[in-house]
Amino acid sequence: DADVTQTPRNRITKTGKRIMLECSQTKGHDRMYWYRQDPGLGLRLIYYSFDVKDINKGEISDGYSVSRQAQAKFSLSLESAIPNQTALYFCATGTGWADTQYFGPGTRLTVL
Amino acid sequence: KQEVTQIPAALSVPEGENLVLNCSFTDSAIYNLQWFRQDPGKGLTSLLLIQSSQREQTSGRLNASLDKSSGRSTLYIAASQPGDSATYLCAVRMGDSSYKLIFGSGTRLLVRP
């Protein structure tokens, strides 16, 4: 089984809908991250969490919210989806003083 | 504000060729630098991590170097194979407590048989 899993893998939705992307990990890492990838722009950090009670905004948090339900689960919500949130979303976990990060397979979200 | 740039954006080489991918960053106060590989439909896989105090790291046919003072890192791939075809991303972690990674936009590599 994969160490970092994301559901759904693909989602098409309409403008104004509420969407939740889920991330689960079996690596036992405290740190978890949500990134978004747009063509030609690399990955940008949306939110990150050092533990269940510690959640921080990243570079592009506007329009997004997160919930760390447990050490192993970190969910990203789009309260009212808009077309420019169409992107590839990645969850990652981090560990150690060097913070090697391990990525999930990604969720491709399309907002019409 | 840290900016990470990767040049070229795309590269096509024949199998067997040695190649170099480039990564540059504007703020030299980094904690470490990572090189990742991204395959279509899959997540990122960490290839090499270089701490700011190190000059290079090697793993198999891959060698990554870091010149912090000039804001540059290179990923050297020896004897390239078609299976090396992927997008390669570099990311820097700043010397603060945030653990945030700042990514370049990647180099898309195609190794032709």
pLDDT tens digits, residue range A57-85? 998 999 999 999 999 999 999 999 999 99
Average pLDDT of the segment spanning A10-20: 96
Which residues of chain A lie closer than 8 angstroms to B105, CB-CB?
40-42
B5 strand-pairing partners:
B24
Which residues of chain A lie closer than 8 angstroms to B40, CB-CB?
none
| Record: contact A56-B34, CB cut-off 8 A | no
- Give B105's pLDDT tier (boundaries 50, 70, 90): very high
**What rounded mean pLDDT belongs to chain B?**
93
Tell me, letter by letter, the H, E, C secondary structure of A61-89. CCCEEEEEEECCEEEEEECCCCHHHCEEE
Residue B61 to residue B41: CA distance in whole angstroms: 24
Burial group, residue A95, by CB count within 10 angstroms (0-12, 13-18, 19+)? middle
pLDDT for B6 beyond 60: yes
Best mutation site among B101, B103, B107, B108 for testing chain A: the one with the most A CBs within 10 Å?
B101
Q: How far is CA A9 from the centre of its chain?
A: 12
| Record: contact A48-B44, CB cut-off 8 A | no
**What rounded mean pLDDT belongs to chain A?**
92
What digits encode the pLDDT tens for the residues B19-66?
999 999 999 989 999 999 999 877 899 999 999 999 999 999 999 999
B98: CB partners within 8 A, 6+ apart: A48, A56
Which residues of chain A lie closer than 8 angstroms to B98, CB-CB?
48, 56
pLDDT for A25 beyond 90: yes
